[in-house]
Amino acid sequence: MEKMVIIGSGPAGLTAGIYAARADLSPLLLAGTLPGGLLTQTSEVENFPGFRQGINGYDLMIEMQQQAERFGTRIEYEVVAGAALTDGCVQTLTLESGEKIETKTLIIATGASPRWLGLPNEERLKTHGVSACATCDGAFFKNVPVVVIGGGDSAMEEANFLTRFASEVIVIHRRDQLRASKIMAERALNNPKIRFVWDSKVVDVLGETEVDGVIVENIKTGKQSEIACKGYFAALGHDPNTGLFRGQIDVDSHGFILLKDGKSCTNLAGVFAAGDCADNAYRQAITAAGMGCRAAMDAERYLEMMKQ
């Protein structure tokens, strides 16, 4: 029987590992399908405190991993295939290999996955101009045009943010109405550096080694045209990686795990959540790390309470 199992190896999971290991709990961390999490897919991380010159996303995650291992976090490169969760009793996980793991406490730090259009060239040019995070990558696009795909709050927020750097921000939306809240929409509509291309879908991303433009198709007329740009920001929403726990853990209408009492507790005693899988508002490396710290401390206190 494990004292603590952490699912996920992004900033939330690894920070939980650091705190739990330093509390002598010898946590088992299951790294999942993308060891190191989404940050391993970004280039330079310039907003994680402590790195004045910025740090490569992959290197940051290696540092966190080695820090967690240094204190005794046991990292296994396993994928969880099933979970049988209880309210305050043993939590049972089944790995893809078929192995079963039982634990007194579980920290879910499975992250969220950005939605993509699924175009082959979008995939090929990721980190070469294609991004799903303006906060992470916007500053690399100074005085060049960029496109933002989507019409929700994320798209408006990213578009507004990108106007600080880009020469022009072109929002491409598949309808003629925004989904975004009124205030966010108005801010973007009134921003002179933002241009809207309505009723249009992106059908291809252009560029050999980095993004040079996109081909858009007007949905109503079928007419295709080219828009030159150096940055391509998908703002199509995120899907939390919580499918494994549906029906057992309380989630919001988007599938993000609901936390209780201003802490990292879920509706099930002994099960905690941290990072993007439980955060539909911020989704930053530093906020995920903070949530991982909270989850480890909450789980540690829970284990102490169970001893009494």
Q: Which of 100, 142, 175, 220 is the binder for ligand NDP (CB under 6 A)? A: 175
Contact assessment for residue 292 and residue 275, using Cβ atoms and an 8 Å cutoff: yes
**Is 276 a binder of ligand NDP (CB under 6 A)?**
no
Q: Does 176 participate in catalysis according to the annotation? A: no
Q: How far is the CB of 26 from ligand NDP (least distance, A)?
A: 37
Q: Which of 169, 236, 285, 288 is the binder for ligand NDP (CB under 6 A)? A: 236
Q: Which of 22, 174, 187, 195 is the binder for ligand NDP (CB under 6 A)? A: 174
- Please say which residue, 117 or 244, places its beta carbon nearer to ligand NDP: 117
Q: How far apart are CA 114 and CA 297, in angstroms?
A: 29
**Is 187 a binder of ligand NDP (CB under 6 A)?**
no
DSSP characters over 89-118: S-EEEEETTS-EEEEEEEEE---EEE----
Q: How far is CA 81 from CA 28, 87, 97, 175, 255, in A?
A: 16, 20, 9, 38, 18
Residue type, 173: H
Q: Does 137 participate in catalysis according to the annotation? A: yes
- Please say which residue, 25 or 171, places its beta carbon nearer to ligand NDP: 171
Contact assessment for residue 159 and residue 184, using Cβ atoms and an 8 Å cutoff: no
Of the candidates 24, 59, 89, 137, the residue annotated as catalytic is 137
Q: How far is the CB of 219 from ligand NDP (least distance, A)?
A: 10
Q: How far apart are CA 73 and CA 166, in angstroms?
A: 42
**Is 142 a binder of ligand NDP (CB under 6 A)?**
no
Which positions ≥6 away from 174 have C-beta within 8 Å?
A: 151, 199, 200, 201, 219
- Do strands 44-45 and 80-84 pair parallel, antiparallel, or not at all (unpaired)? unpaired
Q: Which of 2, 153, 168, 300 is the binder for ligand NDP (CB under 6 A)? A: 153
Q: Does 133 participate in catalysis according to the annotation? A: yes
Q: How far is the CB of 155 from ligand NDP (least distance, A)?
A: 6
**How many residues make contact with ligand NDP (CB under 6 A)?**
17
Q: Which of 35, 54, 72, 237 is the binder for ligand NDP (CB under 6 A)? A: 237
Of the candidates 59, 87, 136, 212, the residue annotated as catalytic is 136
**Is 117 a binder of ligand NDP (CB under 6 A)?**
yes
Contact assessment for residue 108 and residue 7, using Cβ atoms and an 8 Å cutoff: yes
Three-class DSSP category at 222: coil
Q: Which of 10, 13, 17, 151 is the binder for ligand NDP (CB under 6 A)? A: 151
Q: Which of 152, 240, 270, 275 is the binder for ligand NDP (CB under 6 A)? A: 152
Interior/surface letters 268-283, b for 16+ CB within 10 angstroms, e for the rest:
bebbbbbbbbbbbeeb
Q: How far is the CB of 231 from ligand NDP (least distance, A)?
A: 17
Phi, psi of 91 (to 5 degrees): -100, 130
**Is 287 a binder of ligand NDP (CB under 6 A)?**
no
Closest CA to 61 of 77, 45, 47: 45
Report the interface residues with ligand NDP, using CB under 6 A: 115, 117, 150-155, 157, 174-175, 179, 181, 201, 236-237, 280
| Active site amino acids | 133, 136-137
